[in-house]
Amino acid sequence: MNRARIVLRLSASLLLALCLVAHAKPHHAKAPPPPQPLGPRPALVAFADGLATAQGWDVAALREQLAQALDLPKVKQLILPAAVGTAKNWTAYRDRFIESKRLDAGAAFWAENETALARAESQYGVPAEIVVGILGVETFYGRITGGFKVLDALATLAFDFPSEHPRAAERQAFFRNELAEFLKLCRENGLDAADVRGSYAGALGWPQFMPGSWRQHAVDFDGDGRIDLITSPVDAIGSVAHYLAEYGWKPGEATHYSVRLPADPITRRRLLAPDIKPKFTAADLQEAGAQPSEAARDHVGPMAVIELQNGPRKPTTVLLGTENFWVVTRYNWSAYYALAVIELGQAVKARRLQATR
Ligand SMILES: [Ca+2]
């Protein structure tokens, strides 16, 4: 027999075998089962009865609507925190947001909404670039607002929250409240709850407000008589500025400064301990051996010493966050998020000035 042919045939059967092995792998075995309705479980029924009674809604209809909501496995997976020990990387995080396409979109958004941004700035004291930074990081200026059915996502997290989450009980209670807020919001704004889409956690529209934040902080900024964060960028602009103002934005105050920390590890640890909470005056920092920038030395009010990791090997990024930096973290509890918002806003502003020059 021709030796080459044997090799060929062997190879062919080996290939076939490899294909079979590959296809036998669990993720090829079968498609995941389609999501199932939550059904009339006791906690859901009690919630529906309590909410419908308090609001004067049809009890049976709400029970039915919630029982038919789908229990989404993907949502339960996404709500779990990232694995412990994963080194964060500010440089990589920054590059995801401060990139050419988003800067172009931001400059176009600013040009289209110049009047509304200026009006929000004069009314609430929040600079246009911060609002532009938030809307760019959250949804790429309304392009990515989430594809999950919010009713299903919130019902999943309200009644089938993954028990392996470290703060499962607290988070489940939070999402039960957000579900109630969502149902009220839909009735108040004439939205069909079954149709509204958003993030896996139920965040909505251009600014990705949670339903409770929408009801508490959103404003009708285009004056059409309704608050619409899903299709009105102008309502989104006013609402973001109003939200930050309500959390204590100080007009005219910087968001952050540069600093050099002392080498002594015990002092560094003490300065970093309050994390994003502004606790130290410029004098406190200098007394501890830190070297705040000249502008930071003139800053009145407390500052936070913030350290951002740049992967496992590169030196960290260190800065002083003011109370305004802290206000940005009220939108999303993360120094990485806040700095990305601030730097995106600055970069869009620079691109805009370049374009108009
Ligand atoms: Ca409106």
* 225 CA from centroid of ligand 1 (Å): 6
**47 CA to centre of ligand 1 in angstroms:** 31
- Around Cβ 316, how many Cβ atoms within 10 Å? 14
Q: CB–CB of 43/67 below 8 Å?
A: no
Task: Return d(Cα 264, Cα 266) in angstroms, integer.
Answer: 6
Instruction: Round the CA-based radius of gyration of the chain to a whole number and report it.
Output: 25
The reported pTM is 0.89
Determine the Cα–Cα distance for residues 291 and 239; give it in Å rounded to an integer: 37
How many Å lie between the centroid of ligand 1 and the Cα of residue 233?
9
Query: Among residues 121, 129, 138, 343, which one is catalytic?
Result: 138
The pLDDT of residue 109 is: 98
Q: Using pLDDT thresholds of 50, 70 and 90, give the confidence band for residue 157.
A: very high
Q: What is the mean pLDDT of residues 300-311?
A: 96
Query: What's the CA-to-centroid distance between 192 and ligand 1, angstroms?
Result: 18
- Would you tell me how many other CB atoms lie within 10 Å of the CB of residue 321? 27
pLDDT of residue 29: 59
φ and ψ of 280, to 5 deg: -115, 135
Q: Measured in angstroms, how far is the CA atom of residue 231 from the centroid of ligand 1?
A: 9
Tens of pLDDT, residue by residue over 83-106, are 777 789 999 999 999 999 999 999
pLDDT tens by residue, 163-180: 999 999 999 999 999 999
Q: How confident is the model at residue 15 (pLDDT cuts 50, 70, 90)?
A: very low
Q: Is the pLDDT of residue 25 over 60?
A: no
Across the chain, mean pLDDT equals 92
Around 51, how many Cα atoms within 13 Å sit in the side-chain half-sphere?
21
Q: What is the pLDDT of residues 238-292, one digit of tens each?
A: 999 999 999 999 999 999 999 999 999 999 999 999 999 999 999 999 999 999 9
Q: What is the pLDDT of residue 28?
A: 55
| 138 has catalytic annotation | yes
Rounded Cα distance, 317 and 301, in Å: 22
CB 99 within 8 A of CB 92: no
**pLDDT given for residue 116 in this prediction:** 98
